[in-house]
Structure 1
Amino acid sequence: MAGKSDSALSILLLAAALTAAAPPAFPEPPSSRVEALAALRDADAARRAEAIVWIANRGAMDDAPLLHERLRDESPFVRGFAERGLWLLWGRSGDAEIDRLMARGTEEMQAGRYQDAIATFSGVIRSRPDFAEGWNRRATVLYLAGEYRKSLADCGEVLKRNPKHFGAISGVGQIHVKLEQYEQALEWFRRALEVNPNMIGVEVNIRELEELLEERRRRAT
């Protein structure tokens, strides 16, 4: 819940530079898929990060497992690239009109025009029901609009198409919190962390829910 151009690459590089404590200097990026696949196994973290960017900007959904693997990279710098790279990969439909609608719906959502955004993402879903991110964006705006059960249903559709979508998995947890179903929320947050162990906010949610449930158990005895 919760790019193909040089600008997308620049955004990724800037984001990583802002969040990494000491980002390594970047070598020349891969010039082909063969080079990118080889660089994913390179001893140099910067080479691995460049490979992730190449795959995120030019790859397909079939390449997602390559980036999921890097979510457990020894370098936090590379792990951050892998997470952002997956979002890029998921958000690319391969259809210019669908991508245009996704951008419009996102703008509407960010402007607080939730009903307009729901209508736009519903159009995406009608045109491309196989595109998981269309369902995920609608799940997000439904959540923001307070339509929690509808959002939950859309998260289910996301996970049918992309079972390792950690944004949707953690989104299910957030919905269960809103519904005061804390045991289910904890289960889903733990599942999200199993898929992507770098989600600090999810770790915080888990600790808070564990404390809440333990306090309830003490009061019940």
Structure 2
Amino acid sequence: MHALLAALVSTLLLTFTAAQSQGLSREQAVQSLSDADAQTRRDAASRLGDVGLMADVTLLVKALRDPDEDTRDQAEQALWRIWARSGDPEVDRLYQTGIEQMNAGDLQRSIVTFTRIIELKPDFAEGWNKRATLYFLGGELRKSLADCDEVMKRNPYHFGALSGYALIYIRLEYYDRALEYSRRALEVNPNMDGVRRNIDLLERLLEQRRGRMI
């Protein structure tokens, strides 16, 4: 009975906390991101995913190193959600269409959609990033590299594009460059386990190559 009551109270507290976080203004969420309480920081990061702006990216990147794992996860999700907002309703509608086309595996139509997004709002970094991904999936590696360059001009914290460079250079067998960009991606977001594993593999591969050259 006591265990059931404790579980009920815990659930009610979580529900109350979540409801409170949904009412945070952007300014309150930014301030709460540095709170001493881990749950408050988690809720603040989550809220910034809803209301945050590109101006908040630096703080969320810092939160990727928060001692609390859930806060780090919420910060990463918030960054992706902020990056996916262009600030233009028509572009945002096209963006959702492009994502649906990507998920359906329709690469050519989604490339057309993201090209249109780039034409309408060339300063929207995520339009370039999605087209870079599509070019990579279609094997057009040089075009993918060029679009990654455009992403980084507009969003130097884009760890997705940095890890994308690494994947492209692995395909091109430029393993030293792949290692460089993998390390840069991990410097921005140290929570990418797949990138960390790639770094280990690339370091071993390059060491073996150097050994064969001696």
Q: Give TM-score scaled by structure 2 length.
A: 0.89
Distance 2:143 2:27 in 1: 43
Identity of aligned residues (%): 53
**Structure 1 gaps, min length 5:** 1-23
Distance 1:176 1:164 in 2: 19
Q: Which runs of 4 or more aligned residues in structure 1 lie more than 6 Å from their structure 2 counterparts after TM superposition?
A: none
User: Secondary structure of 1:57's match?
Assistant: helix
1:36 Cα deviation (Å)?
1.6
- Specify which structure has the bigger relative contact order, considering alpha-carbon pairs within 8 angstroms and separated by 6 or more residues: 1
Distance 2:27 2:154 in 1: 27
Q: Pick the structure with greater CA Rg.
A: 2
Aligned residue number for residue 208 of structure 2: 215
Aligned residue number for residue 110 of structure 1: 103
**Structure 2 gaps, min length 5:** 1-12
Q: Structure 2 residue aligned with 1:136, among 115, 129, 139? A: 129
Tell me which amino acid in the other structure corresponds to 2:191.
N
1:25 Cα deviation (Å)?
4.3
Distance 2:41 2:152 in 1: 28
Q: Structure 1 residue aligned with 2:174, among 172, 177, 181? A: 181
**Residue 75 (structure 1) aligned with residue 68 (structure 2):** yes
Q: Structure 1 residue aligned with 2:57, among 64, 68, 85? A: 64
Q: Structure 2 residue aligned with 1:165, among 153, 158, 161? A: 158
User: Secondary structure of 1:112's match?
Assistant: coil
Q: Give TM-score scaled by structure 1 length.
A: 0.86
Distance 1:88 1:37 in 2: 16
1:66 Cα deviation (Å)?
1.4
Question: How many residues are aligned here?
Answer: 198
Tell me which amino acid in the other structure corresponds to 1:213.
L
Quick check: 1:25–1:46 contact (8 Å CA) kept in 2? no
Quick check: 1:172–1:185 contact (8 Å CA) kept in 2? yes
Distance 2:88 2:82 in 1: 13
Mean alpha-carbon deviation: is it higher for 204-213 or for 33-42? Answer: 33-42
Tell me which amino acid in the other structure corresponds to 1:192.
A
**Residue 92 (structure 1) aligned with residue 48 (structure 2):** no
RMSD: 1.4
1:34 Cα deviation (Å)?
3.5
Q: Structure 1 residue aligned with 2:38, among 38, 45, 60? A: 45
